Structure 1
Amino acid sequence: MLSLLKRYRRPLIVGALLLYPLVAFLLSGRKGRDPNPIDRAVIAVTSPVQQALTASIEGAVSAVRHYLDLRGVRQENDALRLENLQLRASVQALGESRTENERLRKLLGYAEAAAGPEIPARVVGVNPVAKLLSVRISGGEKDGVFRGMSVVTPDGIVGQVIRATGSYSDVALVTDPQSRVAVRVQRSRARGTAAGAGNGPLKLENMLRTEDVDNGDLIITSGTDGIYPPGLVVGRVTNLEKKEHGMFQGADIVPAVDTSKLEEVLVVGSPYSAMAQGSAAEGASK
């Protein structure tokens, strides 16, 4: 028993000092007497402890309230942040839809103004092999697309159909090293050839040194190769090199169409494709 009293001596003393003012207050309330010196001494000792306990309790309550308020604000901020992300995604989707509508409207306007049949198609794949620069489009023989037809956009030429199946076709781009397009200078009507050179500008070949060509001249298709209709935009002349000797002069042609960003195209007819379609129809009838 004595060991327990020694161990808990301080808590018992503090508890007695804290309880004494309460008991004294209750007793004084009944008798109505003034506090004696012992009461005053106990109150003087215990008041700071009570004040410290009260301040600690009030501080703890205030901290809990602040924590709950901050938690509510944090949850509200998280909800607002999520709503902001959703709104930004919606705005981005609307902007992409508007851009696509503008492209399709431009494509439709070009198709309506064109003289021959125009078959719209969407780019669905890109050939990963650098040996052949080509894309795959969502239009095939069942849509009237055949090997040899030319592929264009309202901005200019894209390439030539090299393979057609029932629902899809492969298009060799004008930038492919094997591509050759008969062209002319729109201003001077001088004729030449636009040759693919891989990713980058085309090469102007077979342009006689005596022909009138300048940097910035617009190059268009001449229509003499039987692939592209005449008058389609190919690009503009840059890095013109007029040689002092030889028959030809050289230059680069910056393509009018960025083939790395193709999304929608038009397939147009050509004499070769018409013959191919006629041959296929004859073979089917036999």
Structure 2
Amino acid sequence: MFSRRMLIAVGIGLFVAINLIVISLTSRQNFDVQGPENVLITLTAPFQLAVQRSVYFVSTVWKNYFACVSAARENTVLKQQLTLAEQIENQNRELTVENARLKKFLAFSSTASGTYVAARVIARDPSPWFKTLMIDKGERHGLKKNAPILVPEGIVGQITKVSPNFSRVLLITDRNSAVDALVQTTRARGMVKGNGDSSCSFVYALRKEKIQAGEVIVSSGLDQVFPKGLKIGTVLAVKKDHSHLFQDIIIQTSVDFDKLEEVLVYKQ
């Protein structure tokens, strides 16, 4: 008995042999197909067509597969290049914005009297009851406790704690902060105290003083901490109560504390 594998092998061998004979016969010039040869060609032609189409189909699928694989790889590489380009573009934007800020700092420090040390804001107090931040400069950079912290827009606060490489800054919006100040136009005296939010109060301004919304409040220099004439903010609202000796004045600080990234430390 012949095994199934042997029968399949014999069948394939006969099929290949018949195809070779047919190809040899049909390749002759002026060959007239007749008799048994005509029958042979008739029987094998459909198989040859099927084999040819199968080979073409497999070849096409194989080429398309490699084309898809190549396109997928190229797409991955292009995505990586696009991501890198976007990162570089974003870094360039950040450098442009930072360069503009530092130019303002340089212009301010070159026109103002005294010596300044530039520092970066590295942390903020998350507590809603305290308005403080940390900077990356300390005793090794010549900083001391109570040193004023400024930006070109105005007063930020003062150092309350200093370590070799870092310092804690109390913002003027903190309730524990106080800056001796005056109205720039009328020279009316008072004290700027923090309200624990983005605003401050101008307290101890006598009721007789004429103070209006929009007027600028600056440091007086009498507290021996902040240099004279530094901008603190502008008057938002004024309330006079005839039963009180002092006015109730709310001011908006000139510094946007939520956007602070760099500051200047004034070295006395």
Q: TM-score, normalised by structure 2?
A: 0.80
**Over residues 220-273 of structure 1, what are the superposed CA-to-partner deviations in whole Å (9 max), with x where a residue is unaligned?**
2222332212211112333x1534544344343222222233232222256xxx
- CA gap of 1:214–1:70, structure 2 versus 1, over 3 A, is farther
- Give the secondary structure class of the aligned counterpart of 1:207: coil
**Over residues 2-40 of structure 1, what are the superposed CA-to-partner deviations in whole Å (9 max), with x where a residue is unaligned?**
7859x968x977875675454245357679763235544
- CA gap of 1:18–1:34, structure 2 versus 1, over 3 A, is farther
Partners of 1:31 and 1:189 lie apart in 2 by 119
Match of 1:86 in 2: 84
Match of 2:59 in 1: 61
Partners of 1:20 and 1:140 lie apart in 2 by 95
Partners of 1:235 and 1:29 lie apart in 2 by 102
Contact 1:126 1:135 (C-alpha < 8 Å) held by counterparts? yes
Partners of 2:249 and 2:156 lie apart in 1 by 20
Contact 2:149 2:264 (C-alpha < 8 Å) held by counterparts? yes
| Superposition map of 1:7-86 within 5 A | 19-20=17-18, 22-26=20-24, 34-36=32-34, 38-86=36-84
**Over residues 85-140 of structure 1, what are the superposed CA-to-partner deviations in whole Å (9 max), with x where a residue is unaligned?**
22332333333333333322322221221122323333343344444322233333
Contact 2:183 2:189 (C-alpha < 8 Å) held by counterparts? yes
- Structure with the bigger percentage of helix: 1
- CA gap of 1:134–1:27, structure 2 versus 1, over 3 A, is closer
CA shift at 1:157, angstroms? Answer: 0.6
Match of 1:231 in 2: 229
Task: State the one-letter code of the partner of 1:106.
Answer: K
Is 1:242 the counterpart of 2:243? The answer is no
- CA gap of 1:37–1:133, structure 2 versus 1, over 3 A, is same
Contact 2:211 2:238 (C-alpha < 8 Å) held by counterparts? no
CA RMSD of aligned residues (A): 3.3
Is 1:216 the counterpart of 2:214? The answer is yes
- Give the secondary structure class of the aligned counterpart of 1:212: coil
Task: State the one-letter code of the partner of 1:34.
Answer: D
Task: State the one-letter code of the partner of 2:263.
Answer: V
Q: 1:125 aligns with which of 123, 132, 137?
A: 123
- Give the secondary structure class of the aligned counterpart of 2:156: strand
- CA gap of 1:24–1:53, structure 2 versus 1, over 3 A, is closer
Contact 1:209 1:246 (C-alpha < 8 Å) held by counterparts? no
Task: State the one-letter code of the partner of 2:102.
Answer: L
Is 1:180 the counterpart of 2:178? The answer is yes
Is 1:116 the counterpart of 2:114? The answer is yes
- CA gap of 1:22–1:196, structure 2 versus 1, over 3 A, is same
Contact 1:140 1:166 (C-alpha < 8 Å) held by counterparts? yes
Match of 1:284 in 2: none
> Percent identity at matched positions?
31
Is 1:145 the counterpart of 2:114? The answer is no
- Give the secondary structure class of the aligned counterpart of 2:157: strand
